[in-house]
Amino acid sequence: MKKNLFFTILAVIALIACKQQPLAIQKTSERGPIGDSAMIVSAHPLATEAGLEIMRQGGNAFDAAIAVHFALQVVFPEAGNIGGGGFAVIRNKNGESTTLDFREKAPKAASRDMYLDENGDVIPLKSRLGHLAAGVPGSVAGMWALYQEYGSLPWSDLLIPAIRLAYHGHLLTELAASNLNDAQEDFKKANKYGTWAIKEGGWAKGDSSVQRELAATLSFIQNQGRDGFYKGIVADQIVKEMQSGNGLISFEDLETYEVKWRQPVTGEYKGHRIISMPPPSSGGVALIQLLQGAERYDFGKTGHNTSATIHLMTELERRVYADRATYLGDPDYYEVPVAMLLDPEYNKKRYSDINQKRKTSSEDIKEGKVEIIESVQTTHYSIVDREGNAISVTTTLNGYFGCKVMVQGAGFFLNNEMDDFSAKPGIPNMFGLVGAEANAIAPGKRMLSSMTPTIVEKDNRLFMVTGTPGGATIITSVFQSILNVIDHGMTMQEAVNAPRLHSQWLPDIIVAEKGRLSEKTQSELEAMGHVIEFRSGLGKVDAILALPDSTFEGGADYNRGDDYAGGF
């Protein structure tokens, strides 16, 4: 019976296959592409195109978001996910805003010390590689909930572009091939059987990625909505996969997974209104705290990425990340003092000891040597439509290709989001982030996130839609995308292209992008006491700016990834 359904679905997939339309408007030099009535910016041209296809058929921004989300699963398996989760910030055409939390949850069998050995030490990689690292996925429930509230076209239409891409294949970019190659050893360790992702001799640019099993999984979701994932064949496959590798996700975990609609956190910044993600993401709270600090300074005057500006941003950041480590967690399990953290009086005091000329040491607050690991993947997309709806979504498997386990027969990777919990107080996770009680593991709890999907208004009108991947660096990258436009007068594309920096309290350093900080600025910062380290890239911001003539500028981070803005 189940087999018959499988083959019927494959036949349907073959029927809906059709030729792809050419890609929409390309970028220009200093401005990104301009759309008169719609704009999508995502991590991959084919995902952007999937959303545009839906909007050309009359779909709204939310329909397009669902199409983009499922398409990213196919063309960007590093982070695109039905095996993961994320957050959406929404502002509809009436100017009403809300947020959708489809973050993964700890399985019911999870426990506080599950990643510790008998001496109470964290067992390396246990929360990152393999079945035990996976939280209960939230993405399909998230897309289904988004559709129930805001969708306009038939649900089944929204999955057509993704199913077509999975069934017929797409050509890998150089970056996609290299990401797959980097993960080959881990794929072999985490999977007992061959998956399409494992390729002897390695992947090359232009290779075709055909994912028939994934096409079948997507078509179950196409036919049965959320039940096509959390019940039936796909649920069977997930639980079987878990059992084969001592993972914890059960049928009950899948069936009882629930999204949460949450009130956004909001704040003011120099005449703009910031609408962002509340806990269990730390992103919105931290962003608004940073912006309250930035209100104290005239960064336009101190200048973009001068030592004076970088120093002040860093001093704000170290204080905000210290708060994050102590106070932020899943609000359903821990009383997060959001009102206190967003109180301007609190932040005024918090920032009152900033010395304009000299760094304050993080060691005064907490000691510890922590490392930030580079190789990570999340993804963000921003969408606006002709009716004035806007959606900002950041979504992830956590590390690239998540826990590297592909569900046998179902063709998708599971997340390793459990690593976002604090496995032990004060011991850093893969992003060097520390935490304590607020973010301790508990059954059914959501792990703390840094994802910061954000929408900015000016004069009650849509002004900007922004967000990025990048683990701990998400908050500071979104912060800079906003400062670059508001304080430094950049176009969206310039704001996305500009060199980024990051600091997070611990480790007590500033991270800069390699080759993008002048020697002069570096030595001035060092003279103030800062230690600078370099990384190849920070974040991949995909953002949209609403221009005064009512058109939209897309800013895709095409220098740091395969990201692509398209509109019409």
Q: Which residues bind ligand DON (CB under 6 A)?
A: 376-378, 396, 398, 417, 420, 449-451, 469-471, 474
* Residue listed under structure tokens 């998230």: 142
Strands 510-513 and 501-502: antiparallel
The distance of closest approach from Cβ of residue 212 to ligand DON in the complex, given in angstroms and rounded to an integer, is 28
CA–CA separation, 192 and 194 (whole Å):
7
| Per-residue tokens: 180 | 């797959």
* Phi/psi at 328 (5° precision): -100, 140
Strands 532-535 and 510-513: parallel
In the complex with ligand DON, the residue whose CB is nearer, 264 or 469, is 469
3-state secondary structure of 187: helix
In the complex with ligand DON, the residue whose CB is nearer, 264 or 435, is 435
The distance of closest approach from Cβ of residue 118 to ligand DON in the complex, given in angstroms and rounded to an integer, is 28
CA–CA separation, 493 and 337 (whole Å):
36
In the complex with ligand DON, the residue whose CB is nearer, 416 or 493, is 416
In the complex with ligand DON, the residue whose CB is nearer, 186 or 420, is 420
The distance of closest approach from Cβ of residue 36 to ligand DON in the complex, given in angstroms and rounded to an integer, is 32
E strand or H helix that includes residue 276: strand 272-276
The distance of closest approach from Cβ of residue 164 to ligand DON in the complex, given in angstroms and rounded to an integer, is 27
3-state secondary structure of 344: helix
Cα angle at 558 between 552 and 561, to 5 degrees? 130
In the complex with ligand DON, the residue whose CB is nearer, 373 or 527, is 373
In the complex with ligand DON, the residue whose CB is nearer, 209 or 468, is 468
CA–CA separation, 508 and 365 (whole Å):
11
| Per-residue tokens: 449 | 């996130």
Residue 563 contacts by C-beta under 8 Å, 6 or more apart in sequence? 41, 42, 43, 44, 540, 542, 556, 557
The distance of closest approach from Cβ of residue 3 to ligand DON in the complex, given in angstroms and rounded to an integer, is 36
Burial 141-157 (b: 16+ CB within 10 A, else e): bbbbbbbeebbebebeb
Exposed/middle/buried for residue 349 (C-beta within 10 Å: 0-12, 13-18, 19+): exposed
The distance of closest approach from Cβ of residue 394 to ligand DON in the complex, given in angstroms and rounded to an integer, is 8
3-state secondary structure of 464: strand
Q: How many CA atoms lie within 13 A of 525 on its CB side?
A: 25
Q: Is 378 a catalytic residue?
A: yes
- Choosing from 173, 195, 378, 466, the catalytic residue is 378
Show which residues are catalytic: 378
